[in-house]
Every structure is written in C-alpha cells, then in structure tokens.
Structure 1
Amino acid sequence: GTCPRGHPEGTGTGRSCGPPVPEITGAGCKNGPRGCLASGLRAPGRPAVPGGSAPRSDGRRAGTGASAAAEGSPAAACPPAKHPGPSARALLAADLWASRRLGVCAAEGSPCAAARPLLRLVEVSGHGLPWLLGTAYGLWRSGSAAAREVLLNLLFALLLDLVLVAVVKGLVRRPRPAHNKMDMFATISVDKYSFPSGHATRAALVCRFVLHHLVLAAPLRVLVVLWALVVSLSRVMLGRHNVTDVLFGLLLGYALYSVVQYCWLSPLSAPALFALWSH
C-alpha cells in the first residue's frame, strides 16, 4: 500500500517506509514551502520525495542539491549590488577628506570660527533671493530700454539657474557634508542636497554676465571675479558643500551663461515681455 503521511517511500527492490521527516512551520520554514524543500525539510502539507526533489505547484519538478538551494535563497532573487570602482572610491575619499580639512568655519568650535559671521554675509550675497528681488526692482524702476533689456535677461538667467540647480539636486540627491550646520539662509526643500552648489553656479553665471554686459573699470572687474571666487570658497569653508559640488557648480554656471547668450531676449524676439515692463 502507501506509506503513512510524513514517511517517505524507500528506494530499491525492497521498498519500505522510511522515518518521518520533521515539519518546520512558521519562522523556521524560510521562504515558504520552497525554502523547506531546498533545505531538505518537509513543508506542511507537502510530501517529501527522496533525493530532495518534489513536484511544484506549476507542474514542474523542483531542482535538487545546489540548484534548489539557489532557487529558494533570497540572494538568488536579488542581484548583487553594484559598487563604485577603485578610482571612483579614491576620488570620493579625496573629495570628502579635502572638504573636511577645508571646512574651517563649519561650526563655532572650528579653527577659524571667528570668520564664520563674515562668511555668512558672503553667503547671503550669493543667495538667489536677493538677486531676484534686486533685479526685479531694477527692471521696474529702469527708464532706459537698453537697461531693461539687460536686466530682463539677467532675470531670465537667474530663474533658469534656480530651475536647473533644483533639477540636478533632485536627481543626484547627494546629502550635505556631515560637518555642516543646517543654519542656512532662506532654504527650500531641495536645499537639503549638496550637489551642485547653487551659490557657485550663480556666482559664475553673474560674474560672466556682469563682465560682458556692464562697462566697469579694471578694479571693479577684479572685484567681481574675486567676489565669485570668495562665494565659491566660502561654501566649502562653511561646510555647506564638498569640493566637487563647488567645482561642478562653477562649470555649470559658466556654461549656463552661454545658453542665456544664445537665447538672448530682445524687443524683437520677446515683444510681450518688454511691453509688460515698459512704462
């Protein structure tokens, strides 16, 4: 006849019922019945077959030995995680090390904490909000058509900069440095991310814009360039950004000016905008 439940049938010429296979239920049966079969244990309500194979619910037979164990293991279902290569890890380590060493004004107990209030003023000077409000006010008060054209394109450049930096930050999602103190001026949701530095992007963009469209004496031109460099360096010294965040921000702002110059707004290309701001 047949063997009692839980007693596998023997093999060979003289078949007999073998010893019962213990049932493992609850947390002991990992990954359900398939996990029990893979470990050689009998799942509840499933007959055990000698050799480690048993019929599956879809009509196929489960594998035996290492193949069944691999099929039922969680590692087989999840591909191995991809890690950056040695060169990328070395670059990341160097970036974090340099950013930590240069963050000399990151907190009150830092080596150059006395310069922190001054650098926070520099931080405000490179913030997007003062630049947007100042440009809009100048555009509203301007009585010259040429000045309105320059200010309108500066406003367009600042808005484009804010949108582009927010998109890149939302895609990359690199956190701020661990030594950063979250006391920044007028932040929004994406400002919790670090890459790229919006201040560095804006500094490079405004610097190129001012040097190309304003007639300034040589000392003032030097001051504009120094301002952009000090704003960018202050981001690392305050612990707001890593070095690569600032470098990429400078490159992005430098390239963004070329986009603004290519899409330059004029009374011929955008008459509605100039009619809106004209008195």
Structure 2
Amino acid sequence: MPSPKASRSAGRSGGSPVLGSSNGRYEFMSLNRAPPPHLLQRQGSDPATARLRASESPTRRRGSGSSTGSTGGQGLPEEDSIRLNPSIIGVALSSLLAIDLWLSKRLGVCACEDSSWGSIRPLMKLIEISGHGIPWLAGTAYCLYKSDSAAGQEVMLNLFVALLLDLVLVGIVKAVVRRRRPAHNRMDMFATFSVDRYSFPSGHATRAAMCGRFLLAHLVLAAPLRVLVLLWASMVGLSRVLLGRHNVTDVVFGFWMGYCQYNLVEMLWLSPQVLQGLLGQLA
C-alpha cells in the first residue's frame, strides 16, 4: 500500500490516475506523454496507437487550436492591408478637398440675404448675369449682323464659335465629373439648364477667361479698358464663390480651362474666305 506522502507528491507532480504496478511499484502516466511500453503490453495496445491517442489528447488539441488561432490572427489579407494603408496621393487629395470645401463655405458670404455680406448680393448677381452665356451669344450675334467690315465680321464670327465651343466643352466636363454644387447655394440663377446643377467646372469662369483673352488679343482697347476687362473677368470668378455657386477649385479650374480654350480657338480660326463661303450659303 502506498504511503499518503507518496500519493500527495504524485498529485503535486501532475500525474494521472494509477494505471498499474510493477514489482510492487505504482506507475503513473502523464497526460502529455504516452504510457510506458510494459503497461501498453499488459493492456494489449500497440505502442504506435497509444502515441497517436496521446497526441490527440484534449491538452494537445487545445494547444494546437490556440496556436492556429494565434497564427491566423497575426496578419491580415493582402487586400485589407492595402485598404488600411492609403497612398500619399490619396491622403493629399482628401486633404485638399477638405480645405476646398471649408474655404468655399467661409467665402460664401453672399449666399443668401441673411449672410454677412448679403446686402451686396444683388450686385454679385448682376456680375453673374454679365458672364452668362446667353447675353454673350446674343450680343455677339447682333454685332456680327451689324458689322460692315470683313475684319469685324471675322472677329465676331470666331467669337461666336468660341462661345458655342465653350458651352459644349463645359457641358461635357460637368456631365462626366458630376460634382454637386455647394450645400449653401441657392438655385436662383438666371436661365439654367439640366447640366447646370453640377458644379465642376465653373462655366462663368471658363467664359470669362476665354472672352477676356479674346478681347485683349483681337480688339484695340485703351489701357483703362484693358484693365477693366481683366477686372471684369476676375470679378466674375470671385462672384461665383461669394454667391456660393461654386467651390474655389471649380473657379480655378474654370479659369485654366478657359485659358486653354482660347488656344484651341486660335488653332481653329476661321479665315475670311471661309467666312465669305458661309455667308454666301446663308444668303
């Protein structure tokens, strides 16, 4: 009979229940290793089978499960890692967009009558109408009809074509980009169309930049009038932001687009011969 002291020492060492005795000694089997061969022979078991059973013990299964879980949680899929690590260009564009929206909202001081500069809103709307496409098309067509010289008719005809080209290009870009107008904008503009519900780019800014370059290049103007043309083009672009019609980037891109449109007009310039042929067909 084993002594209580031996039993307690065996319990503290983490042994398993008694499996059998050999030569008056009791044998204990650990849960983490297979039983001795002589005990396996007494029980009629194969040593390889016993080792397999020992490897499939609950302790081993728990250990393997925890190791698998820890291994699986060490890394994320490649596509998730890409999403969690945005590029520098994406962060820069997001920051610029946030600055653009914040600055546009701060500058929209004439968006309504209750704004801080709401008292000059009628003046800003008058400047807005001065850069609208319909007054420019109507005025150019009238000057083309009333012009007596071939040179004047040539200039007015090319200006009319430039205005039509501006309407087409701006409409295409707006339909492709589809950027909404600022939230503080009031849709009370003069003679709007379906594409005018989009904001990028500013059609008034493109028209002001293109017509400003056209007038300075093809009309003989005194110095005060040239300054007035530049001031008018600048005020048209500024009014778009003050009225809350556009964001700052819409106007900046509109100025650049109008500047480039004038270069296109110069490339497609209609000569007096082409003008005479068109007038002959209309007559």
The normalised TM-score by structure 2 is 0.68
> What is the deviation of 1:85?
1.6
CA distance in structure 2 between the partners assigned to 1:259 and 1:269 by the alignment = 18
Identity among equivalent positions (%) equals 63
Match 1:96 to one of 86, 98, 101: 101
> What is the deviation of 1:252?
0.4
> What is the deviation of 1:108?
1.2
SS in 2 for 1:133: helix
CA distance in structure 2 between the partners assigned to 1:224 and 1:277 by the alignment = 33
What pairs with 1:28-107 in structure 2 (closer than 5 Å)? Answer: 85-107=90-112
Aligned to 1:152: 157
1:182 aligns with 2:213: no
CA distance in structure 2 between the partners assigned to 1:103 and 1:238 by the alignment = 6
Q: Deviations over 1:26-68 (max 9, x none)?
A: xxxxxxxxxxxxxxxxxxxxxxxxxxxxxxxxxxxxxxxxxxx
1:176–1:240 contact (8 Å) kept in structure 2: yes
Match 2:245 to one of 212, 219, 240: 240
CA distance in structure 2 between the partners assigned to 1:257 and 1:232 by the alignment = 17
Larger Rg: 2
Q: Give unmatched runs, 5+ long, in structure 1.
A: 1-75
Aligned to 1:261: 266
The normalised TM-score by structure 1 is 0.69
Letter in 2 for 1:102: L
| Greater Cα offset, 261-270 or 221-230 | 261-270
> What is the deviation of 1:276?
4.8
- Larger helix share, 1 or 2: 2
Aligned to 1:29: none
CA distance in structure 2 between the partners assigned to 1:93 and 1:276 by the alignment = 54
Aligned to 1:167: 172
What pairs with 1:191-202 in structure 2 (closer than 5 Å)? Answer: 191-202=196-207
CA distance in structure 2 between the partners assigned to 1:239 and 1:109 by the alignment = 13
Q: List structure 1 segments (4+ residues) > 6 angstroms apart after TM superposition.
A: none
> What is the deviation of 1:272?
2.6
> What is the deviation of 1:268?
2.6
Q: Give unmatched runs, 5+ long, in structure 2.
A: 1-78
CA distance in structure 2 between the partners assigned to 1:276 and 1:147 by the alignment = 19
Letter in 2 for 1:224: V
What pairs with 1:106-145 in structure 2 (closer than 5 Å)? Answer: 106-145=111-150
1:199–1:232 contact (8 Å) kept in structure 2: yes
Match 2:229 to one of 197, 200, 224: 224
CA RMSD, Structure 1 to Structure 2 (Å): 2.2
Between the two proteins, the alignment pairs up a number of residues equal to 202
2:110–2:242 contact (8 Å) kept in structure 1: yes
Q: 1:277 to 1:234 in 2, by over 3 A?
A: farther
Aligned to 1:69: none
